Amino acid sequence: MMLSKKNERISLGAFLLFTTAILMALYVVHYLTGFLPKVDSFLPRATNFISRKGTLAHDQVWSTFFRFHIVGGAIGIVSGGGQFFPSFRSRYPSFHRWLGMSYACAILVSSIAGLYLCWFASVSTPGIIGFYITNMGWLGSTLLAIHAVTQKDICNHRKWFIRSYAFTMVVVTFRLFYQILFGLLGYSFDHAYVLSIWLSVPFNMIVADYFLIARYKI
């Protein structure tokens, strides 16, 4: 049976989202493994995130939370991206639930670790507040999605999962805004970092709510 044009657009959008998720997961992993050590060299005015942490980068507690944060985020961005294929959800409901549980556990770990890490961010107070609000929203929306599915409230589960994933995708939009502001427009590191977090979160929430209205009418 041929897919309708609407379903084709949904499948294409899901594929592009999932591809972006995999690429971003590979990108963040290089902080742990050095798998992509030269990736930033292709970007204008490239900065080394770890080198800006100074002695903190060698602190065992900070390093542990940092690893939890990026590994959890990498797992979450891939497992969450796999949930946007409608035919996949209907054909493999058990795997859909397994992916959902993987996503939820990964995001709970990553967001809680992020709440600790944000107080050590190498930016001014507005940036720290922005990261704190982001991680609280990430954690809260994920908990609401979990609560809704335990109550078999699929509508609210879908709504809060999509908003949770919008917070997860901040890692992508934040990086894009940062490269535009810092790399192309020449903003200082602090100004670019702070503006990027305050721009990426509302941008992602607007996209998420537009998707909810356009796709699910909620």
Specify the amino acid at residue 43.
Answer: L
Q: How far apart are CA 147 and CA 130, in angstroms?
A: 26
Neighbours of 11 (CB within 10 A): 16
**pLDDT tens-digit readout, 35-76:** 444 545 445 555 556 666 777 777 889 889 988 998 899 899
User: What pLDDT does residue 36 have?
Assistant: 44
155 compared with 81, residue with greater pLDDT: 155
Contact 99, 83 (CB under 8 A): yes
Query: In the chain, what are the domain boundaries?
Result: 9-25+54-216
d(C-alpha 132, C-alpha 134), whole Å: 5
Contacts of 17 (CB under 8 A, 6+ apart): 81, 84
The pLDDT-based confidence of 171 (bands split at 50, 70, 90) is confident
Average pLDDT estimate for 166-183:
91
The pLDDT assigned to 103 comes to: 95
User: What is the model's pLDDT at position 40?
Assistant: 53
Among 20-34, 63-77, 122-136, 170-184, name the one with the lowest average pLDDT.
Answer: 20-34
The pLDDT score that the predictor gives to residue 213 is: 82
